Amino acid sequence: MIAVGTNLATSSEVVALAEKYEKIWASVGTHPTDLSSEGAVDNFLQFMSHNKVVAVGEVGLDYYRTEDQKEKARQKEVFKQFIQLAQDFNKPLILHCRCSPRTTDAYSDALEILDGVARPPKFSKENLGVVHSFTGDYSTAQGFIKRGFLIGLNGITTFSGQHEELISQLPLDKILLETDSPYLAPIPHRGERNEPLWLKYVAEKIAQVKNITTEQVVAASDQNCQKLFRI
């Protein structure tokens, strides 16, 4: 399991959790909606050489509840700083992108930022990261895949048939199963506290849409995870 930090405090907690358990790893970063309580990105340097810290995130852009252009500009600037941090230590990104209602603005801005920042030679495009909790269409997914990202699928895929076209077109080697625990519990547990155990429902949904076995989905996701996070 990869436990994901969303600010400096929870990043410290997930690192401590990873130290305690052999098969738990950690990712550290600041969620874009937590920026108001955070200090400098340099505060995360303390974690970057830890052998159980396998990624930077979740970091990125969240425009869902803000129209403030200054806030969006700050999110972009901090996102760039976290990309640089990931590049400096050759870690993949766990990318959070939540768009304004009925738009794809956060995705398009993230792609533009990645094109402008994520180019140093030491930062392998084969291991750029994963777009967590992806809700865009296949065309948008392709934009991230071309830049070296996997597509994270979670309980949202079970809520309706809305994402079946995306699932049907995504190659298995570009899919990463995720929980977003304690949020986004899949059907039949929607609205409850999410648990990693329920990831099986996401795998079953993907298998159903692709007309393959659940075991094939799980095996592919495991392989993708191990390759991306080098565990």
**How does pLDDT run across 129-154, given as a tens digit for each residue?**
999 999 999 999 999 999 999 999 99
Range 82-85 contact pairs with CB under 8 angstroms and sequence separation of 24 or more: 82/29, 82/30, 82/41, 82/44, 82/56, 82/57, 83/59, 83/113, 83/114, 83/117, 83/118, 84/117, 85/41, 85/44, 85/45, 85/48, 85/56
Question: Residue 38: its pLDDT value, please?
Answer: 72
* pTM, full prediction: 0.94
List the chain domain ranges: 57-229
pLDDT tens by residue, 189-201: 999 999 999 999 9
d(CA 61, CA 38): 15
pLDDT tens digits for 16-53?
999 999 999 999 999 999 887 677 899 999 999 999 99
Pairwise CA distance, residues 74 & 210, whole Å: 40
What mean pLDDT is reported for the chain? 93
- Of all helices (H) and strands (E), which one includes residue 167? helix 164-169
Superfamily of domain 57-229: Metal-dependent hydrolases (3.20.20.140)
Q: What is the pLDDT of residue 125?
A: 54
d(CA 148, CA 77): 21
Is the pLDDT confidence value at 68 over 70? yes
Residue 121's pLDDT is: 43
